[in-house]
Amino acid sequence: MSTGTGSTGTSSAAGGYTVLARRYRPQAFADVVGQEHVAQALRNAIRSNRVAHAYLFTGARGVGKTSTARILAKALNCPNAVDGDPCNECEICRGISVGQDVDVLEIDGASNRGIDDIRQLRANVNVRSMRTRFKIYIIDEVHMLTKEAFNALLKTLEEPPPNVKFVFCTTEPNKVPDTILSRCQRFDFGTIETFNIRLRLRQIAESEGVTVDDDAIELVARRAAGSMRDSQSIFDQLLAFGEDRIGAADVHRLLGTASDERLIAVAAAWLNRSPAAAIDALHAALESGVQLGELTDQMLSYLRDLMVLAAGAEHVDLLAVAPGSRDTLTVQAKQWGLHAIVAAMQILSETKFRMQRTTCGRALVELAIVRISLQENLTSLDGLIERLRSGEASAPIPSGQPASSAAAVSLTAEKKNDLNHVLPELTGTVTTSAAVTAAPASSGSVTAVPAGSVPITGSPLREHQEAPSQDSSPQPAPPQSQPPRSMTEPVGEDSDDMPEGVFNSLREEAGAGSDTAAPSPPTEAPLLEFKPDNATVIWTQLLQEMSDIVRSHARTASHAAISMPNRLDVVFPAKYTLARRYCERSDVIGPLEQIAARLTGVPVRITVSQSDKQESASGQTQERPAAQNTRRRVYRPEEDEFVSTVMNLFSAQVVNVAPIAGDAGRTAEGMEH
């Protein structure tokens, strides 16, 4: 394999040192590592005389875009080219290799990006080449050209002279206008595999006559992240840093990274749920010269490797550690579990993002590793969530309760707080009704009982039936639930009328709802005929199926009617705007329509509207007078249902009542503040 111009020595013609990335630059299509598809396509185009007038090379930095453009220029102009490959011996090949040929012009798009530069190019493009067959323009970082410069280049690019070729190189093809892209043949350069980078670095080490351990080459190849030029730059720095023999420790000291053993020690502290050991491992790494940012990246890559192994992708390369540590990581991944690893990655990635905006990065990293170490209950809660979703039981069914109606899942008292946070999230996902009831202090347990009745899946209207206590001592009988109010009965007119959802939540906090009767097995109810005469009956039945918070809003509706086939219209009085807005939400209407379809056996569409009439003191409705012809009344907070409820909950007092600027709704109602 050719090693490039001047690869046999370390000095250039001028006597100065030439870096490895330049001395070992590819000089033929076969030397371009990892881009065989591009090399094959260009070589075949030259053989068949099908070379396009413009090419666009895209890809990450250091993957061979500009080097391939030079090789293409040599292959087109070399008089001794054989089968599409340049000889690299003639004067033309040597001049193009060092960028000094007068007919191959390399332009930096970042510094020559204006319209004047492109006008100069257009003026010179018609001048014939002096000694070569083609005049070739290589524009690097072409995406940096201005919009005006691209527009000036369009006509020339579409119809160039027959002896002119353009090669554009860019790392951001999305910034190149479509009008330019459509006039070019595009080749995408992919990142180079770590294996190929290792082989190339080994060849360079042998050519330079230095001894480098395989572990050191592996570290440099992984650090390059698919860029051959980056790997050669790091390797060049390593050769200047190291002694007679270069090992992995030299690479870590140079880059400020931690060894594989330190990373494994941090992960072991996470697995052992030992925050102290994790902080000690972090402190020891920082004291040895490891950079905090580099260590955070390494830990994130380590978690990525664990995630890959836990997911079962055994043939994917590791990024954080050497291949020899794969067995250790495989054992850790099985012990930890995929869900816990993903949660740890989220914690650490969030920390990495926050570190960019603060000066206390070490404290954030220490907080992250402690949080990861304290993920003790994550996996067990995952299992609990899955059991609650599927309605399965892991404990015997309580005595006196049918097997088809309920199943008990007992938890230790330490997990009561975690379960209280989990169950609200399951409200819209579980397919069986469930509630958590606290047992007496002596029992030290919490019982979650999924009821046998199956409400609408994903519905926020689901009512959680309360389970019987495990205590055998006699308990007072639960209070009888009151029947739903009539649709025309006003709600919240006086300050003592508290919504049932709020009252139930306060009662549960006080412990009054811990001992209620278990639900009985559901019975198959007959379908209601969907006809205008049954509108009120259907709506009343819907009210019974709703949860407390939804019912507290929905029962303020004045009436319901069936105006057309399969549509139920629900009308709210003018003063219940808040209730109407709540009930017309999609996450409320959707489940209501499912319940209505179950009750009637036909698909039902529910519409919510607000009446433009208001009720009088006698209960009769009357037209609302025009705002400009009505004397404004004084706004009284205690008459407002929502405000009065809040005042009762928090023992609040009205200090000041001020109008809201531009509140057209209140102005139309004639409210004076």
**In a shared domain, residues 334 and 452:** no
Asked if 540 and 534 touch (Cβ cutoff 8 Å), the reply is: no
One domain for residues 463 and 534: no
User: Is the same domain home to 242 and 337?
Assistant: no
Q: Is residue 260 part of a domain?
A: yes
- The pLDDT of residue 410 is 38
User: Which residues partner with 85 through β-bridges?
Assistant: 82
Q: Strand runs (DSSP E) across 249-384, as ranges? A: none
Least confident residue range of 36-50, 273-287, 492-506: 492-506
pLDDT at 545: 82
Domain boundary among 573, 594, 615: 615
Nearest C-alpha neighbor of 583 from the set 449, 473, 476, 487: 487
76, 157: one domain: yes
Q: Which two tokens stand for residue 77?
A: 């102009």
Examine residue 178 and state whether it is found in any structural domain, yes or no.
yes
> Which residue did the predictor score with more confidence, 72 or 585?
72
pLDDT 10s digits, 165-176? 999 999 999 999
**Whole domain around residue 94: which residue ranges?**
20-190
Spatial CA neighbour of 44 closest among 85, 3, 98: 85
CATH number of the CATH domain containing 84:
3.40.50.300
**Which tens digits make up the pLDDT trace of 104-155?**
999 998 888 888 888 888 888 888 888 888 999 999 999 999 999 999 899 8
For the full predicted model, state whether its pTM sits above 0.85.
no
Is 154 in the same domain as 26? yes
**Domains of the chain: total:** 6
Task: Say if 492 falls within a structural domain.
Answer: no
DSSP 8-state assignment for residue 126? T
- 423 belongs to a structural domain: yes
Tally: H helices and E strands in the chain: 26, 17
**Phi, psi dihedral angles at 225 (to 5 degrees):** 55, 45
Q: What is the CATH number of the domain that holds 599?
A: 3.30.300.180
Both 42 and 155 in one domain: the answer is yes
Per the structure block, which two tokens stand in for 181? Answer: 């892209």
Both 243 and 307 in one domain: the answer is no
Q: Are residues 264 and 355 in the same domain?
A: yes
Residues 581-632 have pLDDT tens digits of 888 888 888 888 888 888 888 888 888 888 766 554 444 545 444 444 444 5
**Domain final residue pick, 190, 205, 221:** 190
Residue 5 placed within a domain: no
Q: Are residues 463 and 335 in the same domain?
A: no
Statement to judge: residues 236 and 269 lie in one domain: no
Note whether residue 274 is domain-resident: yes
Closest CA to 444 of 414, 399, 474: 414
pLDDT single digits (tens) 556-577: 888 788 877 788 888 888 888 8
Quote the pLDDT of residue 281.
Answer: 92
Is residue 1 assigned to a domain?
Answer: no
Instruction: Confirm if 306 and 329 have CB atoms less than 8 A apart.
Output: yes
Query: Could you tell me if residue 180 is inside a domain?
Result: yes
Identify whether residues 597 and 636 lie together within a single domain: no
271 and 133 share one domain: no
